[in-house]
Chain A
Amino acid sequence: MRIILALIKKEFYQVFRDRNMLRLIFLLPMIQLIVLGYAINVDVKNIHTAVYDFDNSTLSREYVKSLSAGDYFDIEYSEIPLLDINSGFKSGQYDAALIIPSGFSSDITLRKPITAGFVVDAANANSAAIAMAYAGQITAQFNNRQTKAGVPIELRQKRLYNPEAESVYFMVPGIVAVLVTMITVMLTSMAIVRERETGTLEQLMVTPIKTPAFIFGKTIPFAILGYVEMSMALAFGILWFNIPFAGSWVLLYGLAFVFLFTTLGVGMFISTITATQQQAMFFAWFFSVFAIMTSGFFTPISNMPDFVQYITYLNPLRYFMAIVRGIMMKGAGVAELYREIFAMITFSAIIFTLSWMRFSKRIE
């Protein structure tokens, strides 16, 4: 026990002496949170919409007004002739155009089917789809108001868990998971490889230290830093981005503990296949990017091709990502997350055991 404590203490001395390491651990995550929190914004707002109202009636104006009510559409009566609307799209002045034909109001009151045109710049397919969905929704509501008895179907959509569809609510929990992964994998692998690089490992091997003590001494400090990292990211998300935290803190921190076995294990494994800190950093980076890409952090897993989806099942970060988001956004508990929890425990156990075995073999 004293041996492990001596190792842990030494590891912290080293971390806090190294300015670059400190920056990596404390500054980088904050920058990442701010930049990613704001930059990865998949909300569609302020869609610049050119309006061509050929009806020019109270009713048509009312319709336009209903579109501009939220902050989704930025409505402007266009000065560009309708035939030239392409130039407005190309220059980026407009994202969409709404064309209301003459006879709009008379047809509607006569309960004749009417059409209005909505053209969207779909260069960004994602935001185009969202814009069209908004427009459809607003139109349905408007229709309903006008025709009352005529149209029995009322389209009512409701967003659960994230009513304002704030992507930052979704991204920050993801970033929490990403940070824990990157920092712990990188620091663990580098710290072990550094011992080999500087020759201190050889010196340690002639002291009565046993392999388990060495492994715990080298991983516990980074597990602690992983927790610090996670807490900082959570505090920042909650205080700065006002992200709600719906679920159980205890469950989140408990499951993070399980997940740490995965990343510490991977870090250990990387240290057995690399000889320098630089190589370790490269491998840690490669692993992290791969794990993040297939975790559902950016792209929903259901949007991935089938064979990639199968690969994601092997990625422990996928489960942790689902767990962090589930707990934070939906207040999910063990009853809802048991599949992810089970998969994560299994993977963590396998990865940590294999790494442990490989590491022990390498060191003896």
Chain B
Amino acid sequence: MSSISVEHIVKSYGDIVAVDDVSFSNESGKILALVGPDGAGKTSLLRLMCGLLDFERGEVSFGSINLRYDFEEIKKLLGYMPQNFSLYPDLTVEENLKFYAGLFEISKKEFSRKKEFLYEFSNLGPFRKRRASNLSGGMKQKLALSCALIHDPKILILDEPTTGVDPLSRRQFWDILKKLRDEGASILVSTPYMDEVVMSDRAVFIHHGKKLTEGTPEELTAMYSGFVYTLQVKPTVDTMEALNSIEGIVARRFGASIHIYSDNLSKTEDISETLADRNIEFSSLAQIEPELEDVFIQMMGN
């Protein structure tokens, strides 16, 4: 039995369909990543799963409990971390924790045990007297996670928890998530970062409110058909236009370089000849193994 189950969810805002017939599930002790660009419908999906948004069709259930019928029971199982930092900036780290402990009616004794445990894995202990507003981005997210964990939820729903957080803090944050997973939590996390998808057990790609595909990172990477090249060139608008006007190839900016996708040009020479024909100058060109992001870009293109 899966601990998170979403079936055929439809959610629209007026004429705009934000979530269009999306289904997925996640088991206990697994991390499921929800991947998609901004505006893909990730936040709507997560919020409606937490009972914060109405939706027209579909079912959300956690274990055997259906969201529509027993939301109150679900609240006890669920830890939710919204996209924006939403704790009390004028309260200290410990006061924030204490407040959430109060909301979940956790006894004083239980709280003092719990809080030391949370301080230990979040490394927030030394900052317990500091106001939340004076924490760094990464520490804020750890505090928000700690608050979401105060009642030992079996299910965690995290909306882009590491967006805008420095790489080191992101890694630490994911170490915490993995620990929680190993203790048996079922974690659903949305993210725009492909390197985080690699750390998850499974991933669901969504785009324009629709599910493109899902699978383990390995399965997803294997889904790529065709060839990928990395090209070092000045990515001006003209170059991009020239590249994309070539029959049979698609070019996308990829960090500082450009990735070229092709279904049939299987050799580097094929590409370099085509580029030479068009008088496009470049400093280097090489074929590479497709990454998750390449898979995603190809799927979005179709």
Q: Using a CB–CB distance below 8 Å, which chain A residues touch chain B?
A: 2-3, 5-7, 9-10, 13-14, 17-18, 198-200, 202-209
Residues 37-83 (chain B) with a chain A CB within 8 angstroms: 47, 50-52, 72, 75-76, 78, 80, 82
Query: 6 more A-B contacts (CB under 8 A) besides A6-B98, A9-B99?
Result: A3-B103, A13-B90, A18-B90, A198-B86, A198-B88, A206-B75
State the CA gap A5–B99 with chains docked (Å).
9
Residue of B nearest to A201 (CB): B86
Residues 258-275 (chain B) with a chain A CB within 8 angstroms: none
State the CA gap A332–B102 with chains docked (Å).
44
Residue of A nearest to B83 (CB): A199
Residue B282 lies at the interface, judged by CB distance under 8 Å to chain A: no
Contact B99–A6 (Cβ < 8 Å): yes
Which residues of chain B have C-beta atoms less than 8 A from A199's C-beta? 82, 84-86
Max chain B Cβ within 10 angstroms of own Cβ: one of A199, A204, A207 = A207
Number of B residues whose C-beta is below 8 Å from A?
A: 29
Which residues of chain B have C-beta atoms less than 8 A from A17's C-beta? 90-91, 131
Given A199-B82, A206-B75, A206-B80, A5-B90 contact (CB < 8 Å):
no
Majority secondary structure of chain A interface residues (helix, strand, loop or mixed): helix
16 A-B residue pairs with Cβ-Cβ distance under 8 Å, sorted by A, are A3-B102, A3-B105, A9-B102, A10-B102, A13-B91, A14-B91, A17-B90, A18-B90, A199-B82, A200-B88, A203-B86, A204-B103, A206-B51, A207-B103, A208-B75, A208-B105
State the CA gap A213–B147 with chains docked (Å).
20
Residues 214-273 (chain B) with a chain A CB within 8 angstroms: none
Given A6-B99, A10-B95, A13-B95, A203-B105 contact (CB < 8 Å):
no
Contact B102–A6 (Cβ < 8 Å): yes
Max chain B Cβ within 10 angstroms of own Cβ: one of A198, A206, A208 = A206
Residue of B nearest to A214 (CB): B103
Contact B72–A208 (Cβ < 8 Å): yes
State the CA gap A2–B82 with chains docked (Å).
25
Q: Using a CB–CB distance below 8 Å, which chain B residues touch chain A?
A: 47, 50-52, 72, 75-76, 78, 80, 82, 84-91, 95, 98-105, 131, 147
Question: How many Å from the CB of B155 to the closest CB on chain A?
Answer: 11
Contact B76–A198 (Cβ < 8 Å): no
State the CA gap A204–B84 with chains docked (Å).
14
Max chain A Cβ within 10 angstroms of own Cβ: one of B85, B98, B102 = B102
Question: How many Å from the CB of A275 to the closest CB on chain B?
Answer: 15
Which residues of chain A have C-beta atoms less than 8 A from B104's C-beta? 207-208
State the CA gap A205–B51 with chains docked (Å).
8
Residue of A nearest to B81 (CB): A203
Question: How many Å from the CB of B262 to the closest CB on chain A?
Answer: 45
Which residues of chain B have C-beta atoms less than 8 A from A200's C-beta? 86-88
Contact A206–B50 (Cβ < 8 Å): yes
